[in-house]
Amino acid sequence: MKNEPLNLSVNLCRLQMDNPIVPASGTFGYGNEFKEFYDINILGSFVFKGTTKEPRFGNPTPRIADCTDGMINSVGLQNPGIDAVINHELPQLKTFFHKPVIANISGFSIDEYVYCCAKIDKEPQVGIIEVNVSCPNVKHGGMSFGTTPEAAAEVTRAVKAVTTKPVFIKLSPNVADIVAIAKACEEAGADGICLINTLLGMRIDINTQKPVIANVMGGFSGPAIFPVALRMVYQVSQACQIPIMGCGGVASARDVIEMMIAGATAVQVGSMNLKNPYICKEIIEQLPIEMQQLGIQSLSEIIGIAQKK
């Protein structure tokens, strides 16, 4: 048994991955910058930039604020739009990344989600569609689609009706009952859940006595939010039968293992990519060492094991 090679591979909704490490949307672009640092084909996959129907310049600057063990960002879904992604970014991506990629889709209406998901579903490079339901729902006073079970289920049903590929719904933690929303998505046909998006936070410049972020508030991410993300992954894993991609504050191989024990099949690494562009490579290299020390032969065997203790 000890002589058998360690198995880092996981199966995520029919997508066989060499390892569970997935850079998160908005922190890895389209892979262009990171390919200069290392061969990104060592990754399990990666989620490219959040994509909307029309090009978006994003929010006014400043958009970034430092925090203890984290950061706040209010980039505002800056992206070139779905057509530019399909016609330019994906063909370029194909030249240096040779695995299925995960597409992150955002929208400001049900119709926009449907339009973008139907288009991206036809792209052979895309293995999974990740739907971000943290966008404002204008019909409900600007609250995001992911704040109620009904709204999240409505997006899920609409997107599933026009897609053939696995759909993961990325949920906001800024809610009272994450389990109810995740279950509503599962019942509406979601193939998986991604937990969590950023927490809502802000900073104030005590010299000017004004908010640091031009938009006042933004998404709080980084190691400080890991316990919240872990708790939500554990809760949803207990309540739902569909796979989870864990995301939020992951900074080490031990964090990845902890996320998987809580119930995640794959683990996304977000803001740490911005602090250390080699972080995903380092985690992948460290995983076998941690597995040996912990007596773990196969990562897939520890998924959700905390539920059985």
Would you state the torsion angle of the CA atoms of residues 119, 124, 130, 133, taken in this order, to the nearest 10 degrees? Answer: 0
For residue 3, how far is the Cα from the chain centroid?
35
Catalogue the E-assigned strands of 114-255: 126-132, 167-170, 192-195, 199-201, 204-205, 210-211, 218-221, 244-247
- Can you say whether residue 301 is alpha, beta or left, with left for phi > 0 and alpha for psi between -120 and 50 degrees? alpha
Q: Maximum distance among all alpha carbons in the chain?
A: 63
Would you state the torsion angle of the CA atoms of residues 285, 286, 291, 297, taken in this order, to the nearest 10 degrees? Answer: 0
Q: Which of 135, 185, 194, 280 is catalytic?
A: 135
Q: What are phi and psi of 70, to 5 degrees?
A: 175, -165
CB 262 within 8 A of CB 233: yes
In a 3-state reduction of DSSP, which class is residue 278? coil
CA angle 271–172–90, rounded 5-degree value: 60
- Which residues, in sequence order, are bridge partners of residue 211? 204
Between the two ends of the chain, the Cα-to-Cα distance in Å is: 24
CA angle 63–50–37, rounded 5-degree value: 80
Closest CA to 7 of 309, 304, 302, 306: 302
Q: 135 an active-site residue?
A: yes
Residues with a catalytic annotation lie at 135
